[in-house]
Chain A
Amino acid sequence: MKHLFRIVIALYPAHWRQRYEAEMMALIEDSGYRAKDLANLLLSAVGAHVRSPILLYSWVFSGLLFGTAMLWVVPQHYKASVEAQLKLEPATVSSMMSHEGLGFLIQAYGLYPRWQNTRSLDEVITQMRTRDVQIEALPGSRVRVAFTHPDPKVATDVARDLAIELGFGASPSPVLQPLYKVWLLVVAGLIVGTSAGFWLQRFVRIT
């Protein structure tokens, strides 16, 4: 039990242990090693970390660092898009966005494998139609077609097929654009920042 108390006290920030560890251990020796006190110490150790400014610095610094690194290294999705001067035929668009048209692409490229077992094909097609496929009419009779997918190659290939279907010509070249879920980066940054702060405070004093 004494060993456990030592482990929990080691979780306190370094500056706190420097000042109070010896007398805290003396107090625990006097009052006895009780499980209830161990839990109390654990919660207070978290409180001692949260009260320290280093945690705030770590949140901000590590969060920014991690978030920025993620932005450059791991985009979550890619949007491949092609633009061309084209007269958009409603019938062609309807055919392309139809159950058969999108269903063919889903099967040909094995899209949405995680949804195949949990959702019906209709639901998957609706999701693809409303979320991942974009057809925009631009000024000057231009049309843009785009497809978003986590794999850049799949995004490019599907966008190219959609463009061919719409009449963009034999081999359109989609432009690839990385997309990020900012909230995910912020949450990941906070988790990394908090962990770094807790870990750092065990060893160094920055106030």
Chain B
Amino acid sequence: MNDPTLLVLSSLADGDKHGYAIMQDVEVFSGVKLGPGTLYGAITRLEERGWIRGLRSGDRRQPYTLTGEGRAHLAEALAKIESILRVGKRRLKTA
């Protein structure tokens, strides 16, 4: 799983974070190092779809939070991935 939008959604699933914190968190839990352009490309798309929302902040480092729609989309996407994983593992065992 290295779709930047899913990685960002997964990172925000356990709490609000700003860009750099998302970047570090994603690297820790997935081993994927997102470049700044890729990260903000994903953030832009997610905000446009209403899956994340910027929170008010006095700092330049704006935190983002997962919306209800974003949480639902993440759950659905992860369920699909889990299903693919299950089938793939089962077929590997029987092969």
The total number of A-B Cβ pairs within 8 Å is: 58
Chain A interface size range = 20 to 34
| A30/B20 in contact, CB under 8 A | yes
Instruction: Please report the C-alpha to C-alpha distance between residue A16 and residue B41 in the assembled complex, in whole angstroms.
Output: 10
Number of interface residues of B (CB under 8 A): 17
B20-67 interface with A by 8 A CB criterion? 20, 23, 35-41, 43-44, 59-62
For residue A175, CB closer than 8 A to chain B, the reply is no
Stretch with Cβ within 8 A of B (4 or more), from A42-50, A78-86, A99-107, A120-128? A42-50
| A47/B41 in contact, CB under 8 A | yes
| B35/A42 in contact, CB under 8 A | no
| A25/B60 in contact, CB under 8 A | yes
Please give me the residue from chain B that is nearest to A42 by CB atom.
B37
| B62/A41 in contact, CB under 8 A | no
Query: Given A25-B60, A27-B61, A48–B41 Cβ distance below 8 Å?
Result: yes
For residue A170, CB closer than 8 A to chain B, the reply is no
For residue A89, CB closer than 8 A to chain B, the reply is no
Chain B's nearest CB lies how many Å from the CB of A26?
4
B-contact 0/1 string along A27-44, CB 8 Å cutoff: 110110000110011111
Chain A's nearest CB lies how many Å from the CB of B33?
9
For residue B18, CB closer than 8 A to chain A, the reply is yes
Which residues of B come within 8 Å of A, CB atoms?
18-20, 23, 35-41, 43-44, 59-62
Which residues of A come within 8 Å of B, CB atoms?
16, 20, 22-28, 30-31, 36-37, 40-45, 47-48
